[in-house]
Amino acid sequence: MSFLTNTSNIAVDERVSRTPWYLKTLRRPELGALIGAVAIFLLFTFVDTTGKFATLEGAAGWTDFAAPVGIVAVFVALLMIGGEFDLSSGVMVGTSGLFAGLLITQLGWNVWAAIAATVVMAAVIGFINGILVIRTALPSFIVTLGTFFVLKGANLAITKGLTGTVRVSGVDQGDGFDSARSLFSSTFDVAGTQFQISLVWWLVITIFATLLLTRTVFGNWIFASGGDANAARNAGVPVNRTKITLFVMTSVSASLVGIMFLLRLRGMQAGQGVGQEFYYIIAAAVGGTLLTGGAGSAIGASIGALIMGFAAIGIPYALWDQDWVSTFLGVILFSAVLINITISRRAQGGRKK
């Protein structure tokens, strides 16, 4: 039984080579999205008929589209890494905008107070989502699909009931509108081109979420909760608390985007945001987040959102029919996920998982 008594050579397994730097790079979940983003950028630069796609003006256009998607997609990605879905994240954008709008126009609230109340409301709905998922042990797909439809109906019914139309308008009459608008929906100048302030929010939130995920204890718990909830519990990770917090964060990020739209458009349509949840999930998946949880990145989700911005601006610039945007995104989703999976399998030494 020399394998037991003479074990000095076991630990150093000659079959395992050192990890080369390129493998480490390939293991990064957002790599596929980054390659895709560069390729799609080049594609639209090439087919561009206006000559503006690869300019600052083009950049202002695609980041304007990408920022509101990215802000929520980043948290949807964290939630997905934590092993859950939130299909109500899109409709929450509408619910939040309408809620704040109605407080301002119907009850005459100060805009800042309405914003604070909206964030609290969103946190409560996120908390309810989380509690329902944990307590019922139903798939979050079902629970949040339910929330989605409840909110979608309520948005329409309450808006119609209070305003008689499907739109809340006249928010700019509220106190504090100008100061709130300057923080949430103004523009800033870069070499003569106007960029939306949402771009700054998006960048800050992406950095915050990335640090949260990779450099904090909570981030470790997110990976563990989504990777193997049982193993995480055995190691003493508060899995339930982690997941509920993620639901709250996702919901609050959607409310932030709702507030941005409300202030920018000086009003809100009752149907705003519906369907956006899929954009968030696509952005997260394109960015290398596993749909089964346990792996992914916040930067990746932002790159996914950026790709959507490229498509939304690049397709009309190329004079293609705008109706093809969704089809294009569908193809991107499929190929990006396929590439991500192939790369990570290679990087992990061919182990299929």
Partner 1 sequence: MSTVNEPQDETNAVADQEIVAAVEEAAAENAHELPTGVQAALELKKVGKTFGSVIALRDISLRVDPGTVTCVLGDNGAGKSTLIKILSGVHKPSSGSVTLDGEPVEFSSPRDALGRGIATVFQDLATVPLMSIWRNFFLGNEPVSGPKALGLLSVKNAKDVTKSALKQMGIDLRDTDQPIGTLSGGERQAVAIARAVHFGAKVLILDEPTSALGVRQSGIVLKYILAARDRGVAVVFITHNPHHAFMVGDRFYLLNRGRLLAEFERGKVQLEELIQAMAGGAELESLAHEISSIRA
Look-up: residue for tokens 């390659």?
35
The H or E element containing residue 190 is strand 187-190
**Residue 15 CB, nearest approach to partner 1 (Å):** 10
> How far, in Å, are 140, 143, 292 from residue 136 at the CA level?
10, 9, 19
Smallest CA-to-CA distance from 299 within 218, 203, 235 is with 203
Q: Does 231 bind partner 1 (CB under 8 A)?
A: yes
**Residue 268 CB, nearest approach to partner 1 (Å):** 36
- Residue among 209 and 313 whose Cβ is closer to partner 1: 209
Sort 288 into a burial class: Cβ within 10 Å, 0-12 / 13-18 / 19+.
buried
- Residue among 107 and 352 whose Cβ is closer to partner 1: 352
Touching partner 1, residues 253-292 (CB under 8 A): 290
Q: Does 79 bind partner 1 (CB under 8 A)?
A: no
Interface residue with partner 1 among 218, 241, 271, 318 (CB under 8 A) is: 218
> How far, in Å, are 6, 141, 261 from residue 93 at the CA level?
64, 18, 8
Q: Output the six-digit token pair for 48.
A: 């561009």
**Residue 231 CB, nearest approach to partner 1 (Å):** 5
Beta bridge partners of 195: 188
Look-up: residue for tokens 């739209």?
261
**Residue 221 CB, nearest approach to partner 1 (Å):** 8
Give the interface segment with partner 1, choosing from 64-72, 87-95, 108-116, 223-231 (CB under 8 A): 223-231
**Residue 225 CB, nearest approach to partner 1 (Å):** 9
Binding residues for partner 1, per CB under 8 A? 1, 3-5, 7, 10-12, 16, 18-19, 24, 27, 215-220, 223-224, 227-228, 230-237, 290, 294-295, 348-349, 351, 353
